[in-house]
């Protein structure tokens, strides 16, 4: 068995019942064989075994009172995975599916993603199995306060800086930051994704979606291609999907889909700014379901209980570019095959690990342009890093300045991935290997420098 397969086997044995975490570890380590040969110092220092073991795993009780006066109990998590190159950094996810293995996969991915951004950020992730859906603002506020009542003692602007993810947006960050400020009597950059009035950065809400589109545009440019007149399918209808679609419209593409966990809408006429604003108001203010779109725009079609990828497969929907922006493992091998059959040749992942390993194999075998999440969706955490910089400097940059920095970072990630792939013997277009290697090298070298700690 190869050295890294042994590391994977040991990780599997130590972490039973955590399939998503093992999937992420396998995906990264299987790209790193060439680094084992080139860097005997990594093996000597057991870097591969050390990098799959979090620095610290926190799990805690989160009790809160619902509107009927009943006391509810949820479980909170924060995985401080690796701070070799900067304070732990990564989002908080509130979703009923959250468990230790899911937070560990997200924290593990975050190590390499954050290294790719070139900003000084380590990897972390957290969240809860709390479901914000259908809860009143008061319930969400009481939950967030209770969550922060424990989390506050573990985080800090130079220690660990959480942000948003699924189910955690501006409202939740506001409640959590407000509570932290109250109990610590400190107004510091301890969270990112803050409101613009109290230390947030312009472009942070847009950053992940815009970044995924900038990354796709960079990949397309290597083949003298662009978004102009392309049919684009996007999944999700949340933060990442909304701003990905906004940027696609701006670049002349035609985006035809959104979905939520109830179903999918397809609008073959494509979204314009007015339709997009309807979706933004529906999701962000009214907190409604995506099927309401077809009541307002009856030319569109709603597919109950189906994901965008089910609809693309079952209805033979033609498309050129796909931007999966909902959740992990949403694209299986049948979806991947159907996408390619229907004309898709560029996939840029707004979500974290949205494609199952067999789907990724199909992308690589077919040599389509494929930007894996840790590279393609790094725009969000990049602008979080820029928010931390602005907080430290106690000033705020203009919209254009942040957007330009985001574009440059996405371009650099694209370039660094291609270069690392080539240097380590892969095809330049293999962004999977390139992103894993480029992200890993920086963290591994820092870990070696520290000795055995």
d(CA 70, CA 395): 44
- Residue 239 binds which one of ligand NDP, ligand 2IT, none, with CB within 5 to 8 A depending on kind? ligand NDP
Catalytic residue among 89, 125, 135, 254: 125
Among 90, 199, 350, 385, binds ligand NDP (CB under 6 A): 350
- Residue 240 binds which one of ligand NDP, ligand 2IT, none, with CB within 5 to 8 A depending on kind? ligand NDP
Q: Give the count of residues interacting with ligand 2IT (CB under 6 A).
A: 12
> Least CB distance from residue 126 to ligand 2IT, whole Å?
10
C-beta separation of 443 from 115 below 8 A:
yes
Positions in 104-123 near ligand NDP (CB under 6 A): none
- Residue 325 binds which one of ligand 2IT, ligand NDP, none, with CB within 5 to 8 A depending on kind? ligand NDP
C-beta separation of 221 from 228 below 8 A:
no
234 binding ligand NDP? (CB under 6 A): no
> Least CB distance from residue 325 to ligand NDP, whole Å?
5
> Least CB distance from residue 71 to ligand NDP, whole Å?
25
Beta partners for residue 128, in sequence order = 76, 94
Site string for ligand NDP, 157-176 (x = CB under 6 A): -------xxxx-x-------
Among 239, 264, 348, 355, binds ligand NDP (CB under 6 A): 239
Q: Give the count of residues interacting with ligand NDP (CB under 6 A).
A: 22
> Least CB distance from residue 10 to ligand NDP, whole Å?
27
Site string for ligand 2IT, 94-113 (x = CB under 6 A): ----------------x--x
> Least CB distance from residue 415 to ligand 2IT, whole Å?
20
> Least CB distance from residue 383 to ligand 2IT, whole Å?
7
Positions in 179-238 near ligand 2IT (CB under 6 A): 192
Closest CA to 420 of 20, 112, 192: 112
Positions in 271-300 near ligand 2IT (CB under 6 A): none
Site string for ligand NDP, 192-231 (x = CB under 6 A): ----------------x-----------------------
Closest CA to 111 of 100, 125, 122: 122
Among 22, 141, 163, 256, binds ligand 2IT (CB under 6 A): 163
- What is the radius of gyration, based on Cα positions, of the chain? 21
> Least CB distance from residue 320 to ligand NDP, whole Å?
21
Positions in 361-380 near ligand NDP (CB under 6 A): 377, 380
Among 381, 410, 416, 441, binds ligand 2IT (CB under 6 A): 381
Q: For the chain, what is the HEC assignment?
A: CCHHHHHHHHHHHHCCCCHHHHHHHHHHHCCCHHHHHHCHHHHHCCHHHHHCCCCEEEEEEEEEECCCCCEEEEEEEEEEEECCCCCEEEEEEECCCCCHHHHHHHHHHHHHHHHHCCCCCEEEEEEECCCCCCCCHHHHHHHHHHHHHHHHHHCECCCEEEECECCECHHHHHHHHHHHHHHHCCCCCCCCCCCHHHCCCCCHHHHHHHHHHHHHHHHHHCCCCCCCCCEEEECCCCHHHHHHHHHHHHCCCEECEEEECCEEEECCCCCCHHHHHHHHHHHHHCCCCCCHHHHHCCCCEEEECCCHHHHHHHHCCCCCEEECCCCCCCECHHHHHHHHHCCCCEEECCCCCCECHHHHHHHHHCCCEEECHHHHCHHHHHHHHHHHHHHHHCCCCCHHHHHHHHHHHHHHHHHHHHHHHHHCCCCCCCHHHHHHHHHHHHHHHHHHHCCCC
90 binding ligand 2IT? (CB under 6 A): yes
> Which window, 76-84, 89-97, 180-188, 311-319, contacts ligand 2IT (CB under 6 A)?
89-97
- 125 in catalytic set: yes
> Which window, 295-303, 380-388, 398-406, 435-443, contacts ligand 2IT (CB under 6 A)?
380-388
Interacting residues with ligand 2IT (CB under 6 A): 89-91, 110, 113, 163, 165, 192, 352, 380-381, 384
Interacting residues with ligand NDP (CB under 6 A): 164-167, 169, 208, 236-240, 260-262, 325-327, 350-352, 377, 380
| Residues catalogued as catalytic | 125
């Amino acid at each position: 068995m190869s050295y890294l397969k042994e590391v994977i086997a040991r990780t599997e044995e130590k972490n039973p019942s955590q399939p998503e975490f093992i999937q992420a570890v396998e995906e990264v380590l299987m790209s790193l064989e060439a680094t084992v040969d080139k860097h005997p110092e990594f093996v000597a220092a057991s870097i591969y075994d050390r990098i799959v073991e979090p620095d610290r795993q926190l799990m805690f009780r989160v009790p809160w009172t619902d509107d009927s006066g009943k006391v509810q109990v949820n479980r909170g998590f924060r995985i401080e995975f690796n701070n070799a190159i900067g304070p732990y950094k990564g989002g908080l996810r509130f979703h009923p599916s959250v468990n230790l293995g899911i937070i560990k996969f997200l924290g593990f991915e975050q190590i390499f993603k954050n290294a790719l951004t070139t900003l000084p950020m380590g990897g972390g992730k957290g969240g809860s199995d709390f479901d914000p859906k259908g809860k009143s603002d008061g319930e969400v506020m009481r939950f967030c306060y209770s969550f922060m009542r424990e989390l506050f003692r573990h985080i800090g602007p130079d220690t660990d800086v959480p942000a948003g993810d699924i189910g955690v947006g501006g409202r939740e960050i506001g409640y959590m930051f407000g509570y932290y400020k109250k109990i610590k009597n400190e107004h510091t950059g301890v969270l990112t994704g803050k409101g613009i009035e109290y230390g947030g950065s312009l472009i942070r809400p847009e950053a992940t979606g815009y970044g995924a589109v900038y990354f796709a545009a960079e990949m397309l440019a290597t083949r003298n291609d662009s978004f102009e007149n392309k049919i684009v399918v996007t999944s999700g209808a949340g933060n990442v999907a909304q701003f990905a679609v906004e940027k696609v419209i701006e670049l002349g593409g035609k985006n035809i889909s959104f979905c939520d966990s109830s179903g999918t809408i397809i609008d073959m006429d494509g979204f314009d700014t007015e339709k997009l604003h309807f979706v933004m108001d529906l999701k962000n203010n009214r907190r409604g379901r995506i099927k309401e779109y077809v009541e307002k725009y009856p030319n569109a079609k709603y597919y109950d209980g189906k994901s965008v990828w089910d609809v693309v497969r079952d209805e033979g929907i033609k498309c050129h570019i796909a931007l999966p922006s909902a959740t992990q493992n949403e694209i299986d091998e049948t979806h991947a095959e159907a996408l390619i059959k229907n004309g898709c040749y560029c996939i840029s992942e707004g979500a974290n690990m949205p494609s199952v390993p067999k789907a990724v194999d199909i992308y690589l075998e077919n040599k389509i342009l494929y930007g894996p999440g840790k590279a393609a969706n790094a725009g969000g955490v990049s602008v979080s890093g820029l928010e931390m910089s602005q907080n430290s400097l106690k000033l705020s940059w203009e919209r254009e300045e942040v957007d330009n920095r985001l574009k440059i970072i996405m371009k650099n990630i694209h370039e660094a991935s291609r270069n690392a792939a080539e240097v380590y013997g892969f095809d330049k277009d293999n962004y999977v290997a390139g992103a894993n290697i480029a992200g890993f090298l920086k963290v591994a070298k820092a870990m070696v420098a520290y000795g055995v700690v």
